[in-house]
A and B are shown apart, each in its own frame.
Chain A
């Protein structure tokens, strides 16, 4: 079976976006929805009512007109008939004709007053002439009425076009009666009543209904708007306040007026905000107390540590005078004190980050120079571990606005880390930059990282393999501090690794201090070798 596809007709774009816009407004605003619904529903109701009203008025007008017209026509016919009956001498040949003539004139004159009606007098005998009012014509008697008149007699009526007295034709009422003369001739006496006045009345009613209906619908929509605003405005305020709260402005509250449901909503909202603020304050207090404690402990440790440090130094300097065991003890004391001191320094640094008491002293720096300086400082360790450190950097300086002390600390951590886990194989370092960022990649070929470890290496005191002996005595905080340093620059520090293939750490920093780094980085993080990277570079 062939799949059908909806083919969109080009050129309908504007219409589609208009309806999409309407749809979005409809869904997006309670106010629009309520007012819109009210508008549509009230238009329907008002339209229905107006139609009924106009129909009723029209029918009433027509009924009344028909009644009065019928009696008018009947009385006219009766009058003619009675005049004919009153002719004294039927032998005068002109008598009947005279009566008919004069009574016709009388009817015509009466009907002409106010344009009430026009008259036709049509003889049944074809040899006689018809009498008609000035603006009427014998054809104004519809054949269907004429056909009925003669057999039935009496007064019959129908609706049709009639002269309006001004030469035109309008809708009207046609009433016919049959007059019989004493000499047994018969005439159709036809009254033609134009419905001009009724039409005017009806159109006035129609116009008035339309105006009233439009006004009514408008007013209803306005009322709906007012009502919905009373509800929507507080809801909108609540939504705005909730957004502010979510942004961290915990002191924001709603103003509550009255005791209605919306006031209750506001009060509950405020209670919730209060509870939230208290919870957060408690958590903040707790974490502040904790951080303060860590900081105080670190500081309190410093004075005794200074004494111990000086005593140990004194013993260490004099170790050649001691017996072997005591000498070794002095050496161990010295080494472990160094480690202890490092740990304390790192703890203090971390507690400073936690307390937010850090600041960035950013200046224009050549990152390559920072890398080379750090590598130089790590020469002793590199020789001891038997690893060669290779730096591959562009010939031009890679300049960025960074805090040299912090960046050097990050680099030192990464390089020491790479040497420590590099198993004596070369450690490669690449430096690169693009318009937005600079990056340093430190790649080793040691034991690597197991899946999932790449994220956890930055966890405080995390150890890859607890059974592995620590030889260079890292504090376990180095990478955590490095990550904080990178974040302080609004940069990134990421790790990659695979067991047996080594690990790579990439530091990415924005060129301008505080600028947004975006997603990309000048160097890829992955299994690529640095040597291959720089070859591709050239």
Chain B
């Protein structure tokens, strides 16, 4: 089955070009050019990944991002013309999984989309546990289910990948660079803010008290590791 990509961009030429490139790579592509129609289009098209321009007429890209994230964990990749810190952090905090700065190359955008669409079908049955032994968070990797106290926690695929990466090697401290490579598929150094923002979002969902994290622990000056004990 072909993966579906929803391109939310008001620039018709760029959208069309993205369509050509993505179709050439074997994706199915749908378009929407107006922010106010983006959420409706998302519900109708049921895409596997969303490419979202932050500068949109109608409804602001950040708001679209928030609304889509509110009802789905589908991967969202921002397209931004600004590499300024604030814009990117705002976008990530609104729920985006990754971002690409214009102008990008066709290979770059395809690599980003593929990284977010990695299939988990071939995963062997695996049960992981992370966090304090008395109150652990359990992960059914094959079933893509995260639970604590029998309660299911709703994680986005990216948050799930991040949690699994940490849980698989509970004694290892992961630097942000290593996490970028394992979770985001970046081959060379990229923006470590991606990791910071997503760890915050993950903690908001899996921690009892996000201010004193016990599941995803910060190792000062190095990175993150799985909580235990």
Contacts and interface: CB of A to CB of B under 8 A. Distances in A.
Answer yes or no: are A and B bound together in one complex: yes
Interface of A: 299-300, 302-307, 309-311, 313-314, 341, 344, 357
A305 B103 contact: yes
Interface stretch (B13-21, B157-165, B169-177): B13-21
B84 A309 contact: no
B103 to A, nearest CB: 4
Given A304-B13, A307-B13, A314 B106 contact: yes
Contacts of B103: 302, 305-306, 309, 341, 344
Interface in B92-125: 102-107
A310 B17 contact: yes
B81 interface: yes
Given A299-B82, A314-B20, A307 B106 contact: no
A310 B20 CA distance: 9
B11 A310 contact: no
A314 B110 CA distance: 13
Nearest to A317: B106
Given A299-B81, A302-B81, A303-B81, A309 B13 contact: no
A453 B11 CA distance: 45
Contacts of A310: 17-18, 20-21, 104-106
Residue among A304, A310, A341 with max Cβ neighbours from chain B (10 Å): A310
Interface in B26-82: 81-82
A346 to B, nearest CB: 13
A484 to B, nearest CB: 17
A300 B81 CA distance: 8
A333 to B, nearest CB: 14
11 contacts: A299-B82, A302-B102, A303-B14, A304-B13, A305-B103, A306-B14, A306-B104, A309-B105, A313-B106, A314-B24, A357-B84
A302 B20 CA distance: 19
Interface of B: 11, 13-14, 17-18, 20-21, 24, 81-82, 84, 102-107
* Most chain B CB inside 10 Å of its own CB: which residue of A302, A306, A341: A306
A341 B103 CA distance: 8
A313 to B, nearest CB: 5
Nearest to B21: A310
A303 to B, nearest CB: 5
Contacts of B24: 314
B81 A309 contact: no
A307 B11 contact: yes
Contacts of A303: 11, 14, 81, 102
Given A304-B13, A313-B107, 18 more contacts: A299-B82, A302-B103, A304-B11, A304-B14, A305-B102, A306-B14, A307-B13, A307-B14, A309-B104, A310-B20, A310-B104, A310-B105, A311-B17, A313-B105, A313-B106, A314-B106, A341-B103, A357-B84
B37 to A, nearest CB: 20
A306 B102 contact: yes
Contacts of A304: 11, 13-14
B79 to A, nearest CB: 8
Nearest to B20: A314
Which of B14, B18, B84, B103 has the most chain A CB within a 10 Å cutoff? B103
B88 to A, nearest CB: 14
Nearest to B83: A348
Q: What 6 pairs across the A-B complex have the smallest Cβ distances?
A: A302-B102, A306-B103, A302-B81, A305-B103, A306-B102, A307-B14
A313 B20 CA distance: 12
Contacts of A299: 81-82
Contacts of B20: 310, 314
Contacts of A311: 17
A208 B183 CA distance: 102
Interface hub of B24, B81, B107 (most chain A Cβ within 10 A): B81
B152 to A, nearest CB: 40
Contacts of A307: 11, 13-14, 17
A302 B53 CA distance: 12
Contacts of B102: 302-303, 305-306
Nearest to A313: B106
A307 B21 CA distance: 11
A317 B104 CA distance: 16
Nearest to A309: B103
A406 to B, nearest CB: 14
A498 B11 CA distance: 52
Contacts of A314: 20-21, 24, 106
Nearest to A340: B103
Nearest to A308: B103
Nearest to B80: A302
A475 to B, nearest CB: 15
Contacts of A309: 103-105
Contacts of A306: 14, 17, 102-104
A303 B84 CA distance: 16
A516 B150 CA distance: 60
Contacts of B84: 357
A163 to B, nearest CB: 107
Contacts of B21: 310, 314
A180 B82 CA distance: 136
A341 B18 CA distance: 19
A299 B104 CA distance: 13
A304 B107 CA distance: 17
A306 B81 CA distance: 10
Nearest to A352: B84
A118 B107 CA distance: 137
A403 B20 CA distance: 40
A302 B105 CA distance: 12
Nearest to A404: B189
Nearest to A303: B11
Nearest to B10: A303
Nearest to B12: A307
